[in-house]
Chains A and B, each alone.
Chain A
């Protein structure tokens, strides 16, 4: 292992659990503890525990915090309720490419808290700082100050409720509150990346190991399973949640990625708006789809997608065996005219054409919501 790899405050806890560790975006992270499939199934049926401390946290404060962020993101942050609402959003470049996909926690119009992708944290921070000139804002990269722990699955609420007096069922999906869990003050957020009900906790780094151990201990009776990045990936693929570097990048537009719902056209002005308006008028050349394979094989990122006449029509961005469906599923981009449900495709796997078809997504039916 290279010394240059960053470690989360829970690194020792992962080693103690004999996790298999990998380099993920410069972080030494657990990819699995026992088996990706078992961890995946445990999250769908009981409760999974994830160290997601590699994610970045950026805090924006000051009298112009709201107007500044409104300029930087595609969502309408003015619509979010102060002190309780979270928005999924995109930060775009002028040409409509995606800098990152982020969560925005609106404490108040003068205090906004962003959760950003690990490998994009430095880039996002610089991007925000580059554009703050006219605004009275202070931007801080808080990433090293927080441990982020995700508790996901049907038993997540019962488990976490044992450790807090905050009435968790009152926190709706994509809402947050500040409160004590065990004796520690933290942000309790009803969010996740699995499709299951659950929570993400942001707490001071040094308190991480204590809370992690307590969750594991109290979670035993709920069959809790620590889960690595492997299961995190298969869980999000089953929901067709995008992952930056796969379904999102500086050369993929939000419209192509099927994320128009977070682009708020009525907002006066924001980075990328003009380019996106033009794209919307002209129509997009390609579109994100979910597919399943009709013949044996596994589709992987970068594999070519062709039509029945063998014409190249797109590319796979993510693929796996779905542990829930026990079928090979994938996400990719194809020319827009091939994006309808039911469309037959072929995925080129090691020189062989493997039949596939476009299917509705999420691949599995889940209601990830509070209340």
Chain B
């Protein structure tokens, strides 16, 4: 299971990458593997406010519907529109081209509450 040490994680299997006040969000390799073939992604529009721990979108695999939880509070500044036509991109590259949204962070302190890669690794191996 690929768990890059450069990222932060949630217990709901999202990852977060913080760069200059903007957090890029996606789902982990573990999550995409558990879901299987992803066939649909519901994305929030830019400008949508998001709250840490709340649902911001949905991914659907052939078998299941899964909510996406925001790791951070703020405002969506961009959603990965390429996923609309190619949702399987998340399976192929969950940490790169399969990113889902970018959020302008309003509560930077919340970043400290996210899991480190070691903590997340522990969570997924238990």
The chain A residues found within 8 Å of chain B, CB to CB, are 20, 31-32, 35-37, 230, 233-234, 296-298, 300, 320-321, 323, 328, 350
Contacts and interface: CB of A to CB of B under 8 A. Distances in A.
B36 A36 contact: yes
A330 to B, nearest CB: 13
Given A35-B36, A230-B62, 5 more contacts: A36-B36, A234-B62, A296-B84, A297-B40, A321-B40
Interface string B53-91: 000001011110100000000000000000010000000
B37 interface: yes
A36 B62 CA distance: 7
B39 interface: yes
Contacts of A32: 36
Contacts of A37: 37, 39, 62
Main secondary structure of the interface of B (DSSP, over half): strand
Given A296-B84, A350-B58, A36 B63 contact: yes
Interface in B30-49: 36-37, 39-40, 42
Nearest to A320: B62
Contact of A230 (B36, B58, B84): B36
Interface of B: 36-37, 39-40, 42, 58, 60-63, 65, 84
A300 B39 CA distance: 13
* 3 nearest A-B pairs in the assembled complex, by CB-CB distance: A321-B39, A36-B62, A37-B37
A320 B36 CA distance: 14
23 contacts: A20-B36, A31-B63, A32-B36, A35-B37, A36-B36, A36-B37, A36-B61, A36-B62, A36-B63, A37-B37, A37-B62, A230-B36, A234-B62, A297-B42, A298-B39, A298-B40, A298-B60, A300-B65, A321-B40, A321-B62, A328-B40, A350-B42, A350-B58
Contacts of A323: 62
Contacts of B84: 296
Contacts of B58: 350
B40 A230 contact: no
A2 B62 CA distance: 25
Nearest to B55: A350
Nearest to A35: B37
B83 to A, nearest CB: 11
Nearest to B60: A298
A296 B87 CA distance: 12
B9 to A, nearest CB: 22
